[in-house]
Amino acid sequence: MRPLFHPSIEDVTVEAILHALADPVRVAIYADIVAQDCPQNCSNFLTVSDKAVPKSTLSQHFRILREAGLIRSERCGVEMRNISRCTELEQRFPGLIRAIVTAHTIQSADEARARMPAPKRPARRAATK
Amino acid sequence: MRPLFHPSIEDVTVEAILHALADPVRVAIYADIVAQDCPQNCSNFLTVSDKAVPKSTLSQHFRILREAGLIRSERCGVEMRNISRCTELEQRFPGLIRAIVTAHTIQSADEARARMPAPKRPARRAATK
DNA sequence: TCCATAGTTCCGCAGTTCAGAACTATTGAA
DNA sequence: TTCAATAGTTCTGAACTGCGGAACTATGGA
C-alpha cells in the first residue's frame, strides 16, 4: 500500500479542486466533511444521497479529494480519519471553497423542493412575504 | 447544424459549472470572456496561454461552456459572439463565479512568477540558507 | 493464530475527450 | 449566380478516464 499523498498547499490547483468537486458524490461527501467538525471515516459514506456507493469507488473518491488538496486523511487504527483543509485553502484561494459549498447547498435545497410531493400553496389572503 | 442550446438558469448545475471550469483551457477562455465587456468570438482563442488549440477542440470547449450555462453564444454573420452569463449566475449561485475567476487569477499569477527566469532577491548580506 | 473490519489495488468494460478531416453556413467579390 | 474565404460544427477513431467487482493489505481484537 502506497503511503497517502497530500499536496502542499502551494501545489494545489484550481483545476484539481474543481475537477474533484464536479462529481455529485464527491461534492456531497466533501460538503459533509466540511460541515462536521470532527474527522469522518470513509465508511460513513457507503450511502450518499440514499444511493449505495461501492467501497472501491469510495476509496477512489477519497483519493481524488485528498490529492486535490481538499482533505487530509490519516490512518487511525483500522479506520481513516478525514478532515477538510478549509483553513489552508481559504488562505490560498479566498472564498472559493465557501462559494462552492454554498452553491451545492442551494442546489440541494432546490432539488429537495422539486421532489416535494404536493407543493401546497398558502391560502391567498394570508400571504407569506 | 443543430441549433445552439442554452439551459435556462434554474437548470444550471454546480456540477456542470465545475466540470466546465476544471479544464485549464476552458477556464482561461472563460476568465477572458468575463474580463472583456464586449462579446468574444471563438477564434480569438486559437491560442490559449501560448498554446495552439485546434478548431474542433475549441468548438467542443465552447459547447461545454455554453451547455453548462456559463456563456451565451449567438451567431452574428459568419462569427459567433460569446458573452458570459455572470449576472444570472450570480443570482443563482452568489459568489461562485467570482471566486473561481479570482482563484484562477491568483494561480496564473503564481505560475507566471514561477516561470520568472532569475528571481532576483534583495542582496541579503549573509548566504541564502 | 485466526477472524472481522476498513480501506486499497487490480483490471476489464463503458463512457469521455482530443484532434484531424470533412462538412455547413454566411459573406463578399467577380 | 457562382466562387472563394472565413468561422465554426460534426464525424470518427485513438487515447484516456472512471466505475465497480474481486482480490488484496493493514490493523485490532478474541
Q: Give the burial class of B96: count Cβ atoms within 10 A of its Cβ; 0-12 exposed, 13-18 middle, 19 or more buried.
A: buried
Is there a contact between B63 and B50 (Cβ–Cβ < 8 Å)? no
Q: What is the CATH architecture of B12-102?
A: Orthogonal Bundle (1.10)
The Cα B84–Cα B72 span in angstroms is 6
Q: Are B105 and B27 in contact (CB under 8 A)?
A: no
User: Which of B14, B64, B88, B108 is best to mutate for the A interface (most A CBs within 10 A)?
Assistant: B14
In angstroms, the CA A84 to CA A30 distance is: 8
Q: What is the pLDDT of residue B129?
A: 32
Going by C-beta distance under 8 Å and a sequence separation of 6 or more, which residues neighbour residue A62? A29, A42, A71, A73, A80, A82
Q: What is the pLDDT of residue B3?
A: 85
Residue pLDDT tens, chain B, 129 long? 778 999 999 999 999 999 999 999 999 999 999 999 899 999 999 999 999 999 999 999 999 999 999 999 999 999 999 999 999 999 999 999 999 999 999 999 999 998 877 655 555 554 433
Nucleotides on chain C within 7 angstroms of protein Cβ: 4-10, 17-22, 24-28
* CATH class of segment(s) A9-102: mainly alpha
Which candidate from B14, B100, B104 shows the least CB-CB separation from A107? B14
Please answer yes or no on whether A18 and B15 come within 8 Å at the CB atom: no
State the smallest CA–CA distance between residue A77 and chain B in angstroms. 34
pLDDT at B88: 97
Report CB contact under 8 Å: A18, B100: yes
CA dist B101 and B3 (Å) reads 29
pLDDT given for residue B37 in this prediction: 80
Q: E strands within chain A?
A: 47-48, 51-52, 71-76, 79-84
In the 25-54 segment of chain B, residues within 7 Å (Cβ) of strand C are: 53-54
Q: How far is the CA of A93 from the C1' of C21 (A)?
A: 42
Question: For residue range B58-89, what is the model confidence (pLDDT) as tens digits?
Answer: 999 999 999 999 999 999 999 999 999 999 99
Residues of chain A with pLDDT under 70: 117-129
What is the model's pLDDT at position A127?
40
- C-alpha count within 13 angstroms, C-beta hemisphere, residue B15: 9
Burial class (CB in 10 A: 0-12, 13-18, 19+), B61: buried
What cell was used for B111?
A: 505560475
Query: Which nucleotide is nearest, taking the CA of residue A3 and each C1'?
Result: C8
B 72-111 near A (Cβ less than 8 A): 92-96, 98-100, 102-104, 106-107, 110
Write down the domain spans for chain B. Answer: 12-102
What residue has its CA nearest to the C1' of D26? A78
d(CA A52, CA A70): 23
